[in-house]
């Protein structure tokens, strides 16, 4: 069975008690049998899914995926979800964009099934060791040259020669490191003379510089397989070259098979399930919890100030919290949208000192809004309480904010 959160009290009192026990309650919830069973299944299976159709046909996987994005109510909308994922969100005319709900867009962007081939050359620092070896050989050759009589007897000529060689090495370093990471095939490597020259010197294969056909085969074949040219020729330098670049081992993966994908979705699923469970006990505290989780990421996003506030106005949950916390009139949502933007910004600054939406990254500012929301919500006619309970709530809120 799933663990049920505990809320001792309602409104601000219940909220403060939930916050005080959040870590232990979330841990117990996440470790409950039902949640553990579903997250384990998702993490084990999602990497094998290669299409939107496969995803929607596995109800357990789809349930976790949709819940992670706050879309549990769409579990039976298989055709809709499949189409959204298949179309993606890059095209403005796609269904996800036309629905006007950011959850669909995020879902489409997250579950992208386009295969991306990962090459060894794209690994962080791949070219460093190769160029280090190349540079060592070049400097050894430079030292040997400077010991020749023509340089020993003409120090000026030797200095000019050394300066030029060192400069060439530095220029080559910049070019090699900047460009080797963009190489995605044997052909691309061999078609770049400068890159190839560095590689062949580093692997002591300069004598093969004109043997394009042989190099192509060496780089394309797994030296561990019987019959591969590098193995047949018994050339350890060729084997090392092939293994280093491993073009033969390039593997296409979707984002679903990437590092931490399953874990990230599972974590979002657990968070959303916990918040839904809280909402079942107290819808206002559940709303406040959703608000607490979602607003900081919006505040830290790179979109413009106006876009952030328009996002608030376009979100039923965030709009509700702000309207209640700021005491905005019932007809507020009916006025011109630009006027709404102006009013909510002005009132948020006057009431909570929010001069920039980024201020909401501050926990103290966020708590002021949530506390005001919960107090105003309790004082509404729909949630009337006895005077004693209201006084207790107001007193608790004042004490908490003064800490």
DSSP percent split of the chain into helix, strand, coil, nearest 5: 75, 0, 25
pLDDT at 355: 94
pLDDT at 381: 63
pLDDT at 27: 95
pLDDT at 28: 95
Separation of alpha carbons 258 and 51, rounded Å:
15
Give me 47's structure tokens.
């990497």
pTM score, whole prediction = 0.65
Listed residue (85, 63, 111, 105) closest to 273, CA to CA:
63
pLDDT at 259: 67
Tens of each residue's pLDDT in the chain, 403 residues: 568 899 988 899 999 999 999 999 999 999 999 999 999 999 999 988 888 999 999 999 999 999 999 999 999 999 999 999 999 888 888 898 888 788 898 899 888 877 666 788 888 899 999 999 999 999 999 999 999 988 888 888 889 999 999 999 999 999 999 999 999 889 999 999 999 999 999 999 999 988 999 999 999 999 988 889 988 888 999 999 999 998 887 666 677 776 688 999 999 999 999 999 999 999 999 999 999 999 998 999 888 999 999 989 988 899 999 999 999 988 898 999 999 999 999 999 999 999 999 999 999 999 999 999 999 998 876 665 444 444 444 444 444 444 4
**3-class secondary structure for 289-358?**
HHHHHHHHHHHHCCCCHHHHHHHHHHCHHHHHHHHHHHCCCHHHHHCCHHHHHHHHHHHHHHHHCCCCHH
């Amino acid at each position: 069975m799933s663990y049920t959160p505990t809320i001792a009290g309602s409104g601000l009192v219940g909220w403060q008690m939930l916050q005080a026990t959040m870590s232990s309650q979330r841990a117990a919830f996440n470790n409950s049998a039902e949640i553990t069973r579903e997250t384990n299944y998702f993490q084990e299976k999602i990497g094998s899914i290669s299409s939107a159709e496969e995803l929607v046909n596995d109800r357990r996987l789809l349930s976790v995926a949709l819940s992670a994005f706050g879309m549990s109510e769409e579990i039976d909308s298989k055709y809709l979800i499949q189409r959204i994922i298949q179309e993606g969100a890059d095209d403005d005319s796609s269904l996800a964009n036309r629905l006007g709900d950011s959850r669909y867009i995020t879902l489409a962007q997250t579950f992208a099934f386009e295969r991306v081939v990962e090459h060894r050359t794209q690994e962080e620092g791949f070219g460093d060791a190769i160029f280090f070896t190349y540079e060592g050989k070049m400097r050894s050759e430079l030292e040997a040259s400077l010991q020749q009589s023509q340089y020993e007897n003409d120090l000026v000529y030797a200095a000019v020669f050394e300066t030029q060689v060192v400069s060439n090495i530095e220029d080559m370093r910049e070019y090699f490191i900047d460009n080797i990471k963009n190489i995605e095939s044997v052909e691309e490597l061999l078609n770049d003379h400068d890159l190839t020259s560095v590689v062949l010197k580093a692997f002591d294969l300069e004598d093969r510089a004109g043997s394009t056909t042989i190099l192509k085969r060496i780089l394309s074949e797994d030296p561990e397989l019987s019959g591969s040219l590098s193995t047949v020729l018994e050339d350890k330098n060729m084997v090392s070259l092939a293994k280093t670049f491993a073009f033969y081992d390039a593997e296409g993966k979707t984002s679903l098979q990437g590092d931490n994908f399953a874990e990230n979705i599972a974590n979002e699923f657990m968070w959303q399930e916990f918040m839904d469970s809280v909402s079942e006990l107290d819808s206002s505290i559940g709303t406040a919890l959703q608000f607490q989780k979602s607003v900081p990421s919006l505040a830290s996003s790179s979109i413009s100030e106006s876009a952030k506030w328009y996002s608030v106005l376009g979100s039923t949950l965030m709009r509700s919290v702000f309207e209640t916390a700021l005491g905005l009139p019932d007809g507020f949502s009916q006025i011109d949208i630009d006027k709404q933007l102006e009013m909510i910004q002005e009132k948020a600054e006057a009431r909570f000192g929010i001069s920039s939406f980024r201020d909401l990254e501050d926990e103290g500012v966020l708590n002021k809004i949530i506390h005001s929301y919960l107090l105003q919500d309790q004082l509404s006619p729909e949630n009337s309480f006895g005077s004693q309970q209201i006084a207790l709530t107001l007193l608790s809120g004042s004490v908490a904010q003064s800490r």
